[in-house]
Chains A and B, each alone.
Chain A
């Protein structure tokens, strides 16, 4: 029974001692310790969240880069295609232009040749006419040189007129 009867003195000291412990430890030990633990956990959680976020951002960035790259590639292809087309166009145009120019030049040459030919022909005709007149003059001079010949010729002409 001795064991089962709490003694007044020990109850008193235990109460006082425990309350002092509770007060002092609460204020100077548990409060800073629990606070520090909470802080640390928050820090760790924060760090983990940040890491996760960074990872996600990195992935996003990578995806974006890939997209940009693809776009750039597409752009490049487009530009190349355009350039090729433009070059082709220019070449075609130049070719057409050349053809046209050549045709025009040929035409010009033809016209010039024609003109020259006409001119030459005209010259020749003139020369021939002049020569013919000279020849005719010479012939006439030769045939109608004498009085008799002239009379004969006139009479012939008159004869012809009479017939008519």
Chain B
């Protein structure tokens, strides 16, 4: 009985805490809207693309003439000039104008280019997105190593605290995503990848919703890497059946094979391609919608519109929380479906089919 009361007390506390967090989030959304209505707007919607894209510095906010910016390291490699590393602050002067530094400068798209012609530059800078990636990695390590530690220390006790938040998600990924799609015998090999994938996407989707945060999971380079990894996991675990279905689809007339095989082969690449595009589009679109709604205030310069859009932004923000989770789920689900198709044992089904036919 005592435990029950304790739990009730705790849930009350967390309830209040979650209220505080949501109030804080609403406040964070309101501030830029109100601030925007006071500002002299120039280039009303230009900030949208700026927010959605990567940058060499992490710009949080402008308060009057003070800029809240973290200058991130620029790391460059060019075959002609070797490695160079310096702060991105060097690309701007006192008046916040772009200047060249060390023979490099930022072009109109904020790409680093060399002053001299004929010098190729490979940019490995820790950009805003890379910094965000590091932050999310640290967060993932912190959360899941803490949880793992608790599992090690109290193996048979019920989950507690942050552990009870993530345990159902882990069990869901195992029981509802991995096992039904990959099968009971082979799912274990892919669980670490699927879990890492899900939580990486989920955490970064949610982190991306914070005002001033980077749009990491809505960046096509990130979704590209994740899709490529799923592609590799799928095709390196593909069994004989899988390849036979692609290059010599059984039960199909020989004459159709020349059409079908290229389609199947193309399918190998369209699957991860769709993964890449889906995640990139849904997250980036969500950000653009929110920022566009905020931009309405810039355009109309009215308190009334400010209040209206703020309410709507809060509403979309809640939907974005949902989208963040759903997209992580979908990416993981499709990845496990592709892997499942690659490792599935079709053999027995066909044998049964043949037996059935012979009986008829």
CB distance from B64 to the nearest CB of A (A): 30
Residue B34 at the chain A interface, CB threshold 8 Å: no
Do residues B126 and A37 form an inter-chain contact, with CB atoms below 8 A? no
Chain B residues in the interface with A (C-beta under 8 A): 49, 52-54, 75, 109, 122-127, 129-130, 133-134, 137, 140-141, 144-145, 147-148, 151-152, 155-156, 167, 170-171, 174, 188, 191-193, 195-196, 200, 219-222, 224-226, 229, 284
Do residues B151 and A9 form an inter-chain contact, with CB atoms below 8 A? no
Do residues A21 and B140 form an inter-chain contact, with CB atoms below 8 A? yes
Chain B binder among A26-34, A64-72, A148-156: A26-34
Q: Complex formed: what's the CA distance from A89 to B226 in Å?
A: 100
Q: Complex formed: what's the CA distance from A35 to B152 in Å?
A: 9
Do residues A14 and B133 form an inter-chain contact, with CB atoms below 8 A? yes
Do residues B155 and A29 form an inter-chain contact, with CB atoms below 8 A? no
Chain A residues in the interface with B (C-beta under 8 A): 2-15, 17-18, 20-22, 24-26, 28-37, 39-40, 43
Do residues B225 and A25 form an inter-chain contact, with CB atoms below 8 A? no
Q: Complex formed: what's the CA distance from A9 to B200 in Å?
A: 19
Do residues A33 and B148 form an inter-chain contact, with CB atoms below 8 A? yes
CB distance from B331 to the nearest CB of A (A): 13
Q: Give every chain B residue within 8 A of A2 (Cβ-Cβ).
A: 49, 53, 109
Give me 7 A-to-B residue pairs in the complex whose CB atoms sit less than 8 angstroms apart, sorted by A's number: A3-B220, A9-B124, A10-B127, A17-B133, A25-B140, A25-B192, A40-B155
Q: Give every chain A residue within 8 A of B75 (Cβ-Cβ).
A: 9
Task: Give B133's nearest chain A residue, CB to CB.
Answer: A17
Q: Given A3-B53, A21-B200 in contact, is the A34-B191 Cβ separation under 8 Å?
A: yes
Task: Give B196's nearest chain A residue, CB to CB.
Answer: A22
Q: Give every chain A residue within 8 A of B170 (Cβ-Cβ).
A: 33-34, 37
Task: Give B192's nearest chain A residue, CB to CB.
Answer: A26
Q: Give every chain A residue within 8 A of B156 (Cβ-Cβ).
A: 39-40, 43
